[in-house]
Amino acid sequence: MFNRFILIVVFVPLAVILIALAVANRELVAFTLDPFNPGNPKLTLTLPLFIFLFVALAIGMVVGSLATWVKQGRYRKLARQRGVEAENLRQAVSRVPAAPQGSAPGTALSKPTA
């Protein structure tokens, strides 16, 4: 239900806005990588403006995702360490012998010898 709500409230208006943006910006625009010679045809790309906008949006999403992934690396490492510690604890608990039937709780372990 929540996924459908997010789809309707967020993605449908976003799609409408992006489609309107693409329709309004269909004219060809020259994008050049040579600031000193803007007419250089080898380093100039001519495409509709909306393509440049969508590519910039996609690059921004990828760079933002990578930055978030790198920033949260220490938390993933900590979670992996805690997972290993939890697994070691589970294995240690499974090696402890079971308490005999009818014994009081907490008396499953033998008394230490001096």
Pick 3 or 112 by higher pLDDT: 3
Is residue 99 included in any domain, yes or no?
Answer: no
Is a pLDDT exceeding 60 seen at residue 106? no
Is residue 89 included in any domain, yes or no?
Answer: yes
Q: What is the pLDDT of residues 56-95, one digit of tens each?
A: 999 999 999 999 999 999 999 998 999 888 888 888 888 8
C-beta atoms surrounding 88 within 10 Å: 10
Q: Residue 9's domain spans which residues? A: 2-93
Question: For the chain, how many structural domains are there in total?
Answer: 1
Is residue 17 included in any domain, yes or no?
Answer: yes
Torsion angle defined by CA atoms of residues 7, 13, 18 and 20, in that order, rounded to the nearest 10 degrees: 150
Is residue 112 included in any domain, yes or no?
Answer: no
| pTM, to two decimals | 0.60
Q: What is the pLDDT of residue 65?
A: 95
Is residue 114 included in any domain, yes or no?
Answer: no
